[in-house]
Structure 1
Amino acid sequence: MKIKILLVLALMVTQITFSQRKSRADRFFENGDYVNAALQYEEELNQEGYTKHILENISTSYYNTFQFKEAYRYLKVLTSGKFYGKDKSYDNAFNFMMHQVLSALGKYENAVDFLALYYKNEGKEFNKSNAISEIEAFKLKDDDYTITSVGFNSDASEFGAIKKDSLIYFSSDRKPNGVLDKNYRWTHRPFLDIYAVKVDKKNTPVSDIETISGEINSKLHEGNFCFTSDGNTIYFSKSNSEKGKKKFDSLRTNAVHLYKATKVDGVWQTPEKLAFNDTSYSTEHPWISSNDKTLFFASNMPGGYGGFDIYSVAINADGTYGKPVNLGETINTPNREQFPFVSKDGHLFFSSNGHLGLGMMDVFVSELKENKYTKPINLGAPLNSSYDDFSLTYYNETDGFFASNRKNKSEDDIYSFSQIGEIFLKEYEASFTVKDFATDNYIPNAAITIFDLDDQLYEDTLDKKEFITLSLFPGKYAFKASADGYKTKEKPVVVKEKENETYVIYLDKAITTVADNTKVKEDKSVSTSDNDVVKTPNELTAEQLRKQLLSDKVGPQVIEKNGKLYFDLPPIYFDYDKWNIRADSKKVLDDFALKLEKYKTVYIKISSHTDSRGTDSYNQVLSEKRAESTRNYLALVGYVNARRMQFEGFGESIPLINCEGKVCTEEEHQINRRSEFEIIKY
């Protein structure tokens, strides 16, 4: 009996201890301490296994602390339904979270699957193939920006930079002067303050970094901010508080509110809350128009489209405010739109994870036309990445700052940028022509039709001209060509942000069947058979096609090495530690795409290689990304069917120049960073 009682007591202690651990994990989660919540839930998994409750909370904890590999591990189980319990359903929000996590990990095609499922469950239409094409276009478009990490970043987070005269102001959770200040539960780091640093013309710090004012900064968060044109009023985000203490809503949530302070005789006065704040929701990320008459901000107030939306509010002459106005569904989505910035021309820049992008939050711009905002444009790489990119501001027409956690994954850094390209759509001169497949000669009097996505069309006949030239916006079009004696052909084209690009359709001769006793005029470009059927080039036998590939001197040549056929292209080089297609390689791949279009039954393998710097495992991943990037460029811009192209990375394992035991020059390393194109089927 004594032993039995001891066993019962031991069991009770175990259950109580486990119950305490479980409730402790939930308490961490409910209080926003996601770091400790994740650790505690890991312990519970060892005891209880995969339950829906734990999977949902541990996935959210890792997601909120930017540990995306760990979040993916548990989201994969949750969305597969392979967990304990009869109820295998889960909230649709986790499909969107899975989309975000997979995007952050660079798995875009899988990410789009979950985005499609998310929209399906929301009862909304979604075109998966168009989404993948758009994402690839963001990645492969010509760079509109150059970016550089600023010199005042630290191991802490920095974001929200604004330049006024020779000072740069920014927000940071770096260690404050008061060593006894508490840390923020979510990040386990100090609360945010606003700092300032004096810089030279190159934005290099020339002074110590200091907090701007004891009146502005407190023991709680002070985040994004903006100044009026005269610099004497600051609007800023701040934890809702009264007399220095947090103020909570009924769910124990401490909202973020908008405050303003004015400067009198060079001294900031006590901040005051804006009248439209409310304890039950957040208002944050202010930006004021250049005429100081309109304040833009983000809020999750009731009546929006979901998550955080962007609003504007009029600032009246007497200092009062109008009613906040939601900027509408062109800008806002059911997810998050935050960090508005409005240029002097009235164009709206903001960050969003609801519009299609490259990963977590991307920066978008909406052009102001006739007092309406246009459909947002993704600013693309390198400004956007697979992680969070946000808080963009300009301080002149071409230069500014933004923040991203792409480097440290959890801590944000500030980057300066220079705009080098056109970010708004404009028309470019594009030329269209039609050629004979076999001879590469222009076909006189060929008819050309160009369709855009709205089914509007441009129509013309070459009429002995080599080209027709049109002014078109960049984007997708359908190019159709026909001529007497040829097969009519239509193909999609992507008009690029370049002047005087030429787009070609190659036409095959029409198949002609002639009577047995009729003499067929010899066409040296094709083969005739005893059945008197003239074959088009893509209907040649394998041996005939092989001979034609080796003899075709138009465009990239085909060569034979060790019994295998390769396209002999100029090198497709990559910058060190990069896998994006360089400008000098785009022209090479554009010409190659035309060659592949001529030979539609040719299948290729793209093999990419790195130099010997870096670890074997890292170089293997990098080479795979380079091969995939090359395949994607040919598929997207050249419209070569992706099923015709295999790709593989070989890391540093097959160098052209062996750098082992010697110091290779940069030119020799560059030679090893290459792609090769083998014909594997024809």
Structure 2
Amino acid sequence: MNRSRILHFLLILVFVLTGVSASLAQDQQVQKGDRLYNNKEFAAATYYYEKYLENSEDVKIKRKLADCYLQIQKDTEANYLLENIASSSEANAEDYLHYANLLKRVRNYEKAKVFFKKYAELKPEDSNVSKLILSCNLIKELQDDHLYSIKSLSINSPQSDFASAFYKNGLVFVSGRKNNTSKQIDGRSGEYFLDMYFSEKSGDNYLSPEPFSDDFNTKYHEGPACFSSNEKFIFFTRNKGTLNLEGKSELNIYTSRHNGTDWDKAEIFQFSGQTYSMGHPSISPDGRHLYFISNMAGGYGGTDIYVCLKSGFSWSRPINCGPTINTDGNEMFPFIAEDGYLYFASDGHIGFGGLDIFKSIFEQNEWTYPVNLGPPFNSSKDDFGYLIRKNKEVGYFSSNRNGSDDIFEFKQNPEKIQNLRGRLLASTNKSALKDVEVILMENLSKEKSTLTDENGLFSFDIFKGKNYSLIVSKPGYKIKRILYFAPDEQTTPKQLNISMDTIHWVKFKGNIIDQFSAHAVEEASIQIINQTYKSNSFCVTDEYGDFEQEIDPSKAYDIIIQKDGYFTKVINNYKYQSAKFEQIELQKFSTNQDMELYGVEYDAGSWELKENTIMELNNLAGLLKVNPHISIEINGFTNQDKGKKENNIICEQRAKTASEYIISKGITPNRIQYKSAGYNSGRSALVVKLTEAF
């Protein structure tokens, strides 16, 4: 072999070995990237995927890199990759969906609708896509009317910062800035592990933040937190620091008491530490309701909002807030305000993109349909962490609209505020009416209420250019709804002079007794809801179980009667007939109490629901709907012995089918368990056991 041929052979060998080496290096880059990606260390994984794609057009790796960019909020980079993927011949339905969601997020709504429709063509069974298309149209309706001014707080850092809770004269917030407790970088975000900080407000500014507590901040993630109204108790989120069998680090809620000098050692909340996450706590002003998020089994989607009810020193097990609040997406960052409104972030309800902030209130024993707060609170990015004081003049929310998560303060724009005045007069003699209740409503949402003074006068601060309605009510007079249509913003509204016609009101009297003992039920609350105006009045039974409330006899009412330890009772469409004394029975409950559904009927060996069984289950669903604090177990029986194995199959299917029917009526799955109880000739085919009752 001559020298030239040897040289040629060696060059070929070098090229082959170089190619093999390059291929091995690329394989290692993918392996390292995948390991980090699977561990959700997205920021670290991007480096290896980017290096690999310098010499490859692998669509699978492009998808993973695009997901990394989305997770760490690099929208520009994600947009380039997803556009490339969506226009390729290898694009699938999920590619169209991801690209459409990103287009919506960057406010390209018309193009987003195009790709949502492409996705719908390939996935017609996904009913959620119609909501996504509708949300693109919604953006045009909810424009910023500049009723509030917002500003980014000076305490924000280049890392993630988001509001958590009011505390003393300042804010407790969560941040991924450099700190002394967690010196390592979180590979998922590329930032330091989250800690809690406190910043005191001085005038219109916030002072330099300090770590909230060295006892609470650890090398793991801490926050967000909330405080009891007296600020003696804290509830906060912390991750375990250890991984479960799926390789995930779950979130837990911890609680601590302030002993007057310092905080006691934090203890895990009783329902945490399971195979699911619990976090983002918010406690009600009365300390009786703790709201939080969880991905526990029996929910509706990724994370749902739950509530635990306190009775004495005990907490009920978590109760899902139901399908009105929760969706198949993620509900997060609940905040229960002093006026009873629940504010939360969601990517499942119709919104602008990412997380949007919504509000709902628990009225007439159920949550109202959530209202999107619109701009400036919501944007095409993630908006969350809403906080507001009772006066509603100043509040806070968090958003990544400028890149990383930042805290924003909002205030009512004084240029958009004007005063609406009115006077209530008797139509007969034009005399001033004192103590008329005046409720200011906006889009069927109660905003404010007041009573007229001795001159019959009232006033509200309202936003210019907005339409409202007023509901005026006083015993002995006909309830009225007044529609207020806003004049030109430059025009000062004239005083409203409202006359009220007299009408004979009657005294609705009644007596509440225990169903079994016939003893009087003292301090039961009676809520009387006018069906026409949705206005409420309240009264409480005395030591004899008696109550009395004046009502307009021409109207229909819904009546809700509640007492701790008893099933809530609802009387719908009540119409006053006569002055007779209404006697109403309440049924006491206790855990492990059995209720036999005697009306259920099954054919031998069958679990098919018959008409009578459906009627019984409808009654049970109604009971659970008006008693959201109750959980049950449905036990299936058979009165025909076909052998243990066959009996268990029949009984379990009866219990399962019954529970599925109850769930179909809007009862959350985590409130219902079922099991086979086997053969028993003396029991009803379905027996309901109360497993939780607060």
Aligned residue identity for 2:71: N
What does residue range 417-432 of structure 1 map to in structure 2 within 5 Å? Answer: 417-418=411-412, 424-426=442-444
Q: Secondary structure at the match of 1:315?
A: strand
**2:12 aligned with 1:34, yes or no?**
no
Paired residue for 2:21, among 13, 21, 33? 13
CA distance in 2: counterparts of 1:288 and 1:128, whole angstroms: 32
Q: Secondary structure at the match of 2:142?
A: helix
What does residue range 485-634 of structure 1 map to in structure 2 within 5 Å? Answer: 498-499=485-486
What does residue range 85-96 of structure 1 map to in structure 2 within 5 Å? Answer: 89=92, 91=94, 94-96=95-97
Paired residue for 2:126, among 122, 125, 135? 122
Can you list the C-alpha shifts for 1:633-662, whole angstroms capped at 9, x where unaligned? xxxxxxxxxxxxxxxxxxxxxxxxxxxxxx
In the other structure, the counterpart of 2:245 is 250
Paired residue for 2:67, among 49, 60, 68? 60
Q: Secondary structure at the match of 1:268?
A: coil
Note the C-alpha offset of 1:68: 1.2
CA distance in 2: counterparts of 1:33 and 1:124, whole angstroms: 29
Aligned residue identity for 2:154: G
In the other structure, the counterpart of 1:149 is 152
Can you list the C-alpha shifts for 1:293-347, whole angstroms capped at 9, x where unaligned? 11111112222111111111113312x3212112122211211110011122321
CA distance in 2: counterparts of 1:271 and 1:57, whole angstroms: 39
Q: Is the 8 A contact 2:229 2:285 kept in 1?
A: yes
Note the C-alpha offset of 1:144: 4.2
**2:293 aligned with 1:275, yes or no?**
no
In the other structure, the counterpart of 1:384 is 378
Note the C-alpha offset of 1:114: 4.1
What does residue range 161-240 of structure 1 map to in structure 2 within 5 Å? Answer: 161-177=164-180, 181-202=183-204, 204-206=205-207, 208-240=208-240
Can you list the C-alpha shifts for 1:165-203, whole angstroms capped at 9, x where unaligned? 32321111222136x81111122221111111222243x
Q: 1:330–1:143: structure 2 CA closer, same or farther, 3 Å change rule?
A: farther
**2:67 aligned with 1:50, yes or no?**
no
Paired residue for 1:330, among 324, 334, 351? 324
Aligned residue identity for 2:340: G
CA distance in 2: counterparts of 1:427 and 1:31, whole angstroms: 44
Note the C-alpha offset of 1:213: 1.4
Can you list the C-alpha shifts for 1:273-295, whole angstroms capped at 9, x where unaligned? 11222443221111011111111
Q: 1:414–1:125: structure 2 CA closer, same or farther, 3 Å change rule?
A: closer
Q: 1:170–1:252: structure 2 CA closer, same or farther, 3 Å change rule?
A: same
TM-score between the two structures when normalised by the length of structure 2: 0.56
Q: 1:263–1:42: structure 2 CA closer, same or farther, 3 Å change rule?
A: same
Q: Is the 8 A contact 1:400 1:418 kept in 2?
A: no
Q: Across the two proteins, how many residue pairs are aligned to each other? A: 421
CA distance in 1: counterparts of 2:223 and 2:132, whole angstroms: 37
In the other structure, the counterpart of 1:291 is 286
Q: 1:307–1:417: structure 2 CA closer, same or farther, 3 Å change rule?
A: farther
Q: Is the 8 A contact 2:338 2:389 kept in 1?
A: no
Can you list the C-alpha shifts for 1:426-445, whole angstroms capped at 9, x where unaligned? 499xxxxxxxxxxxxxxxxx
Q: Is the 8 A contact 2:443 2:468 kept in 1?
A: no
In the other structure, the counterpart of 2:424 is none
Q: Is the 8 A contact 1:379 1:423 kept in 2?
A: no
CA distance in 2: counterparts of 1:287 and 1:309, whole angstroms: 14
Q: Is the 8 A contact 2:107 2:380 kept in 1?
A: yes
**2:75 aligned with 1:71, yes or no?**
no
Q: Secondary structure at the match of 1:355?
A: coil
In the other structure, the counterpart of 2:106 is 105
In the other structure, the counterpart of 1:137 is 141
Q: Is the 8 A contact 1:103 1:359 kept in 2?
A: yes
CA distance in 1: counterparts of 2:220 and 2:131, whole angstroms: 44
Q: Secondary structure at the match of 1:390?
A: strand
CA distance in 2: counterparts of 1:311 and 1:299, whole angstroms: 7
Q: Secondary structure at the match of 1:267?
A: coil
Q: 1:136–1:70: structure 2 CA closer, same or farther, 3 Å change rule?
A: same
Aligned residue identity for 1:104: R
Q: 1:389–1:427: structure 2 CA closer, same or farther, 3 Å change rule?
A: closer
Q: Is the 8 A contact 2:337 2:390 kept in 1?
A: no
Aligned residue identity for 1:47: N
CA distance in 1: counterparts of 2:74 and 2:133, whole angstroms: 29
CA distance in 1: counterparts of 2:96 and 2:274, whole angstroms: 30
Q: Is the 8 A contact 1:298 1:338 kept in 2?
A: yes
Structure 1, 417-426 or 180-189: larger mean CA deviation? 417-426
Note the C-alpha offset of 1:48: 2.4
Can you list the C-alpha shifts for 1:228-251, whole angstroms capped at 9, x where unaligned? 1111111111111xxxxx111112
Paired residue for 1:351, among 345, 349, 362? 345
Note the C-alpha offset of 1:364: 0.9
In the other structure, the counterpart of 1:300 is 295
Aligned residue identity for 2:84: V
Note the C-alpha offset of 1:15: 2.1
Aligned residue identity for 2:195: D
Note the C-alpha offset of 1:424: 4.6
Can you list the C-alpha shifts for 1:205-261, whole angstroms capped at 9, x where unaligned? 35x421121111111111111001111111111111xxxxx1111121111111111
In the other structure, the counterpart of 1:373 is 367
CA distance in 2: counterparts of 1:8 and 1:201, whole angstroms: 72
Paired residue for 2:31, among 14, 23, 30? 23
More strand by share: 2
Q: Please, what is the CA RMSD of the aligned residues?
A: 3.0
Q: Is the 8 A contact 1:337 1:353 kept in 2?
A: yes
Q: 1:282–1:128: structure 2 CA closer, same or farther, 3 Å change rule?
A: closer
Q: Is the 8 A contact 1:367 1:373 kept in 2?
A: yes
Q: 1:317–1:352: structure 2 CA closer, same or farther, 3 Å change rule?
A: same
CA distance in 1: counterparts of 2:239 and 2:399, whole angstroms: 22
Aligned residue identity for 1:137: E
Aligned residue identity for 1:284: G
Q: Secondary structure at the match of 2:234?
A: strand
Q: 1:498–1:389: structure 2 CA closer, same or farther, 3 Å change rule?
A: farther
CA distance in 2: counterparts of 1:423 and 1:174, whole angstroms: 43
Q: Is the 8 A contact 2:344 2:384 kept in 1?
A: yes
Q: Is the 8 A contact 1:161 1:402 kept in 2?
A: no
Note the C-alpha offset of 1:129: 7.2
TM-score between the two structures when normalised by the length of structure 1: 0.57
Q: Is the 8 A contact 2:255 2:267 kept in 1?
A: yes
Q: 1:80–1:343: structure 2 CA closer, same or farther, 3 Å change rule?
A: same
Q: Secondary structure at the match of 1:199?
A: strand
CA distance in 1: counterparts of 2:273 and 2:138, whole angstroms: 39
CA distance in 2: counterparts of 1:128 and 1:270, whole angstroms: 46
Q: Is the 8 A contact 1:34 1:64 kept in 2?
A: yes
CA distance in 1: counterparts of 2:395 and 2:274, whole angstroms: 34
